[in-house]
Chains A and B, each alone.
Chain A
Amino acid sequence: MNTAKFLELVRDELELDSDLHVSTNLKELDEWDSMAAMVLIGLVSNEFDVNLTGDDINSITTVQSLIEKIGTERFE
Chain B
Amino acid sequence: MGVKIQALEYYFPENKVSNEMLRERFPDYDFTKFESKVGIMSRYWVDSNETALDLAEQACLKLFENIDRTQVEYIVYCTQSPEYILPTTACLLQERLGLSRTVGAFDFNLGCSGYVYGLSLAKGLIESGQVNNVLLVTAETYSKYLNEEDRSNRAIFGDAATATFLIKSNREGLKQFAFGSDGSGAEKLIIKNGGTKNSCILNPETKVYGSDNQYTDNNLYMNGPEIFNFTAENIPDFTKKVLEINKMELQNPDYFIFHQANSFMLEFLRKRIKIEKEKFYINMADGGNTVSNTIPIALKRLANDLGNIAAPLSVVVVGFGVGLSWAGGIIEIDNSLI
**Separation of A53 and B225 alpha carbons in the complex (Å):** 8
Contact A54 B152 (CB under 8 A): no
Q: Is B106 an interface residue (CB 8 A)?
A: no
Contact B224 A35 (CB under 8 A): yes
Complex interface residues of chain A between 30 and 76 (CB less than 8 A to chain B) = 31-35, 37-39, 41-42, 45-46, 51-54, 57
Q: Within the complex, which residue of A31, A41, A42 is in contact with B33, where a contact is CB–CB below 8 Å?
A: A31
Q: Is B145 an interface residue (CB 8 A)?
A: no
Q: Within the complex, which residue of A32, A38, A51 is in contact with B233, where a contact is CB–CB below 8 Å?
A: A51
Contact B37 A54 (CB under 8 A): no
Question: Shortest Cβ distance from A49 into chain B, in angstroms?
Answer: 11
Q: A42-B264, A42-B268 are in contact. Are A34 and B229 (CB under 8 A)?
A: no
Interface size on B, residues (CB 8 A): 23
Label chain B's interface by main secondary structure: helix
Q: Is A12 an interface residue (CB 8 A)?
A: no
Chain B residues within 8 Å of A41, by CB: 225, 228-229, 232
Q: A39-B37, A42-B268, A53-B226 are in contact. Are A33 and B232 (CB under 8 A)?
A: no
Contact A35 B34 (CB under 8 A): yes
Q: Is A15 an interface residue (CB 8 A)?
A: yes
Contact A37 B224 (CB under 8 A): yes
Identity of the chain A residue whose Cβ is nearest the Cβ of B38 in the assembled complex = A35
Contact B33 A15 (CB under 8 A): yes
As a 0/1 sequence over residues 216 to 231 of chain B, the CB contacts with chain A under 8 angstroms (1 = contact) are 0000000111101100
Contact B224 A45 (CB under 8 A): no
Contact A37 B152 (CB under 8 A): no
Q: A31-B33, A32-B211, A53-B229 are in contact. Are A38 and B223 (CB under 8 A)?
A: no
**Separation of A35 and B209 alpha carbons in the complex (Å):** 12
Q: A42-B264, A42-B268, A54-B223 are in contact. Are A35 and B229 (CB under 8 A)?
A: no
Contact A45 B232 (CB under 8 A): yes
Complex interface residues of chain B between 317 and 337 (CB less than 8 A to chain A) = none
Identity of the chain A residue whose Cβ is nearest the Cβ of B265 in the assembled complex = A38
Chain B residues within 8 Å of A45, by CB: 232, 268
Q: A53-B226, A54-B226 are in contact. Are A34 and B232 (CB under 8 A)?
A: no
Complex interface residues of chain B between 88 and 117 (CB less than 8 A to chain A) = none
**Separation of A52 and B229 alpha carbons in the complex (Å):** 8
**Separation of A15 and B264 alpha carbons in the complex (Å):** 14
Q: A51-B229, A53-B229, A54-B229 are in contact. Are A38 and B33 (CB under 8 A)?
A: no
Chain A residues within 8 Å of B183, by CB: none
Identity of the chain A residue whose Cβ is nearest the Cβ of B232 in the assembled complex = A45
Q: Is B210 an interface residue (CB 8 A)?
A: yes
Other A-B pairs, 16, CB within 8 Å; known A41-B228, A42-B228, A54-B225: A33-B210, A33-B211, A34-B152, A35-B38, A35-B152, A35-B264, A37-B210, A38-B225, A38-B228, A42-B265, A42-B268, A45-B232, A51-B232, A51-B233, A53-B229, A54-B223
Interface set of B (CB-CB < 8 Å, partner A): 33-34, 37-38, 152, 188, 209-211, 213, 223-226, 228-229, 232-233, 264-265, 268, 271-272
